[in-house]
Structure formats: C-alpha cells, structure tokens
Amino acid sequence: MKRSANEDDGWASDDALFTRRGPIRSHRRSGRRRTGLVRLGAVAVATSLAAAGWTTVAGLSDRAPTSEAEPSPTGTEAPVEPAPPEGWGDATVNPTPTARRAPTSPPARGPAGRAAPRPASTTPPVTVSAGPAPPRATATAGPSAVAPADGLVVQVMSRASGLPVGVRGGSTSDGASVVQRATAGAATRWRLVSAGSGCYQLANGSSGKALDLTDGSHADGTPMQQWTLGPGNINQTWCFHSVGGGWYSIRSAASGALLDLRDGGAGDGVTIQQWGADPTAPNAHQTWQLLPAV
C-alpha cells in the first residue's frame, strides 16, 4: 500500500536516523594533486636555502590537506602553506655554516706588475764598540847556531840530549873530567882559540884550561879532561866539520876519533869521550851545535 507523505507509521524519520552530509565536491582530487606539487616545491626551496648558507629553515609544518580553502575576510582564497616531506614533522634544519677567511689585501704592485719594494728599516744599526786589541804574544826565539870562529865564546850542545858540555863541578884543576851538564854556567862556556886549518883549542870559561884528550890515547871510549892550555898542543886541538843545519862533527887532531856523548845518555854528568867514526856521517851522539854564550 502506498503511504502518503504525511502519514505517520510509527517509525523515526530518515533525518533522525541519518545525519545529512554535504555533497561530495568534485575538486577534492585536484586539491590533493596541487598539495603534492607544493610539497615538492618546498623541498627544493629548503635545499636552496641550506646551500646558500642559511642557518635555519623553519616554519614547515605537517598539515593535512584540506578539502576546501577557507575564505579570507576580503573574499579571496587564502594561500595554502606547503607541507614538508614525510618524516620531517616540525623539525628545524640547522646546517653548519662554512667558516670563511677574511679577505687579505694583495701585495702592492709597482710598474710592470712587479711587487713594490719594502720600505727601508728606520732602526739604526747597533754598533758594538770594540776595545783595544790585546797585544800579540811574541815567541822568544832561542839563540841561533853559529859557525866556529877565533875568539867566539860558545856552548857546545849535544844533538842527542840537548845539553851542553862542561867541567864536572866547575873544577879548576888539571885532570878534572869533562862531562854533560844539566845546568848552565861559566863551566859550560868555551872560548875558541884558532889553531889554523879550521881547527881550534877550547878554553873553559870557569877555569881557563883547555879541553884535552887524556894522554893522547887512540882508544875508543877514552874520556875527556881539562888541562892547562898550551899553544900548539895537538892533544888540545879539535877540527870542526859541518854536516848541515848548523850541526858539526868534532874530530881530534891527535887520534882522528870524534868527540862522543857516551851511550847518548840524557842525564847530568854523562861522560864525554872519543869514538872512531866518519866525520862526514856522524850519529846523534857525535853531532854538536855551537850556540853563542851570554
């Protein structure tokens, strides 16, 4: 049976059971598409701002798309804020800015692009005042060797020991031994008296007596003594032969043997003797030097 519109059948009306909904608008799908494009644009803008050195990119809130833009007071459609990509939420992006060095001024350039010269320093140089130079030490040279000559007073020095020939104990007696002395003095000085042909008698500066070959012996090892000077006495005559460098061999005119330092001893009191040898090739015991005596 068909009921009339005003007939009450005891059931609630449709409006009471079902709430009326607004009509489905056909532009909802278009709005979602536009919101997606806006989101992509927001990502590009945020990336550009971070690359440009911005310290904060904020204000990107996660909003759900709306089905319809709310009208503005002026009647125009309010702009829709872009939403960030999924997962961003309300986070704030703080990229670390790159430290930048302060610009430095380029060096000044002169003509033709060359660097301008630096200004000369105005600081005066420090002058160190030097005191007077200390006097140089002067080496004292010993007396130079001399050649034998009449009247010359000398010391007869051994090449082997570097010590002079003298009279033992400075004795003035005939027969006193002639030895090597460690101390200088009058007993080590000898005055040369020419005997001709490069030969000389040697008179002692302390006793005045002559260097003498004991008994005129020809034996090797015969010791020397002092004896009263006798002109032309062959036992007291000694001939000098140069061997170079101011050194001499001294040969006895009586025996032909050479004046010799026994065993080349270096001590005080070593005996002076004779020994047969070539006067042109003496050993150190038989080589002598004449030094001027003061």
Residue carrying structure tokens 């008994």: 215
> Under a CB-based contact definition with an 8 Å cutoff, are residues 57 and 92 in contact?
yes
Q: What is the pLDDT of residue 143?
A: 76
Q: What is the pLDDT of residue 141?
A: 47
* pTM beyond 0.85, yes or no: no
Confidence label for 233 from pLDDT (cuts 50, 70 and 90) = very high
Closest by CA position to 62, among listed 42, 79, 48, 45: 42
d(CA 288, CA 291): 10
Residue 209 pLDDT more than 70? yes
Closest by CA position to 190, among listed 157, 165, 154: 154
Domain assignments of the chain as residue spans, ordered by start:
29-66+81-87, 153-292
H or E element at residue 79: none
Closest by CA position to 80, among listed 24, 26, 32: 32
Instruction: Copy the structure tokens of residue 231.
Output: 């002109």
**Mean predicted confidence (pLDDT) in 142-164:** 94
Residue 84 pLDDT more than 60? no
Question: Which amino acid would we find at residue 62?
Answer: D
Q: Which long-range contacts (CB under 8 A, 24 or more apart) does 233-239 make?
A: 233/201, 236/201, 236/202, 236/210, 236/211, 236/212, 237/195, 237/199, 237/200, 237/201, 238/199, 238/200, 238/201, 238/202, 238/211, 239/197, 239/198, 239/199, 239/200
27-62 residues labelled b (16+ CB within 10 A) or e (exposed): eeeeeeeebeeebeebeeebeeeeeeeeeebeebee
What sign does the CA torsion over 205, 211, 215, 219 have?
A: positive
> Under a CB-based contact definition with an 8 Å cutoff, are residues 58 and 92 in contact?
yes
Q: What is the pLDDT of residue 64?
A: 45
The domain defined by 153-292 folds into Trefoil (Acidic Fibroblast Growth Factor, subunit A) (2.80.10)
Give me the phi and psi of 210, to 5 degrees please: -95, 150
**Any idea how long the chain is?**
294
H or E element at residue 14: helix 14-17
Residue 125 pLDDT more than 60? no
Q: Do the bridges between strand 165-167 and strand 247-252 make them parallel or antiparallel, or are there none, so unpaired? A: unpaired
Share of the chain above pLDDT 90, in %: 50
Distances (CA, A) of 63 to 32, 40, 76, 93, 204: 12, 14, 21, 18, 139
**Per-chain mean pLDDT for the chain:** 75
Q: What three-state secondary structure class fits 252?
A: strand
Instruction: Copy the structure tokens of residue 32.
Output: 């979602």
Return the top range by mean pLDDT from 76-80, 122-126, 202-206: 202-206
Between 49 and 136, the more confident residue is 49
> Under a CB-based contact definition with an 8 Å cutoff, are residues 233 and 252 in contact?
no
